[in-house]
Amino acid sequence: MAPRIPFNRPFIAGKELFYIAQAVTGGKIAGDGHFTKSCAEMMEREYRIQKVLMTPSCTAALEMAAILCDLRPGDEVIMPSYTFVSTANAVARIGVRPAFVDIRPDTLNLNEELIEGAITDRTRAIMPVHYAGVGCEMDRIQAIAAKHRLQVIEDAAQGVNASYKGRALGSIGQLGCYSFHETKNYICGEGGALCINDPSKVDRAEIIREKGTNRSRFFRGMVDKYTWVDVGSSYVPSELSSAFLYGQLELRNHIAERRKEIYQFYQHHLQPLEAEGLVRLPRIPADCQSNYHMFYLLLPSLEARSQLLAHLKQKGILAVFHYVPLHTAPVGQQFGYRQGDLPVTEDLSDRLVRLPFYYDLTEQDQMEVVDEVQAFLSRKATRRLAA
């Protein structure tokens, strides 16, 4: 049976469907039409990014980024193990070893103090993941990268419209990757973007995105025929997706406000439980402007986490957890990693719960989630006192 309060629900905020109709009647629904260009230009302007190329997913953008960094078999890339599988697959698929580094206990972001210890003479890049839309410690990461001549690819899948020291996430490393998957803040079903902050990578990125051809230059009248000039794939999204996305991006401030309200409601009502030491809530460092991508709880143990999820499910509420740390997954083990290698990642991933969080979440439903979390945790506390 479907839960009464789902974990996520795709939403429409404005003119998304109207713009899809416009794209269809306008006679162009393949890639790089009016809406695809409008989405990219809006983000270049708003987030001060040299060049934004829309892609069919963040996974595709990460793959492009790995190609653009000239990674070769045997190279290593530093990244967290506490992330979505695409961060690691982008490099593993071309024979590159993900060098997993533990996370910070406060933000669950890559622990910048552990990066230098993981650098070897094969290290080529660092991939910070901005977990929950909260920026990694980018000043430190950029300084380490500069010192060791490494590229920085930001996995900003969860970081669209968030910033670190006033700079948009995705605009700081040489490359950044966004997601517009239906579970993210701004959505179009499946979608993404590659942010290029290193101007020397723009021409090649356009070629890789157009199946390895110089088609973009041909359309701009810069060459008189287009042909096969490099490796590449089909990394151009449908104009239909971009039309939907444009309807969301033009309302980005309104959508951001709504998410902030939802976050603050949880924060306000669950803070007393944190004060009692029953649960830990998310932290946002002063240098970071969050986009309020998610609200999570850290329970005292794996057992408590499983019990809370079961309790909420029984009440018709779908809360979820993630990620299975990549270093303990089957492929991570093939790379030689073992349980126990990254203690903070292993501990926190066992105890984390994500609460329902979506644009159309009503205050009444949200209150119900809060009430059920409170009921579960206070009952547990009472039992503990009695024991």
Ligand X SMILES: *Cc1c(COP(=O)(O)O)cnc(C)c1O
Helix axes 239-249, 34-47, angle to 10 degrees: 40
Q: How far is the CB of 129 from ligand X (least distance, A)?
A: 5
For residue 318, give both structure tokens: 């779908």
Q: How far is the CB of 180 from ligand X (least distance, A)?
A: 7
CA 107 to chain centre: 14
Q: How far is the CB of 28 from ligand X (least distance, A)?
A: 23
CB closer to ligand X, 83 vs 197:
83
Q: How far is the CB of 179 from ligand X (least distance, A)?
A: 3
254/250 Cα distance (integer angstroms): 9
Q: Which residues bind ligand X (CB under 6 A)?
A: 57-59, 83-84, 86-87, 129, 155, 157-158, 179, 181, 192
CB closer to ligand X, 318 vs 373:
318
Q: How far is the CB of 161 from ligand X (least distance, A)?
A: 15
CB closer to ligand X, 181 vs 215:
181
CB closer to ligand X, 61 vs 373:
61
Amino acid identity, position 130: H
Q: How far is the CB of 245 from ligand X (least distance, A)?
A: 12
CB closer to ligand X, 23 vs 157:
157
CB closer to ligand X, 227 vs 234:
234
Q: How far is the CB of 58 from ligand X (least distance, A)?
A: 3
Using alpha carbons, list the distances in angstroms from residue 255 to 15, 228, 264.
13, 41, 14
CB closer to ligand X, 189 vs 285:
189
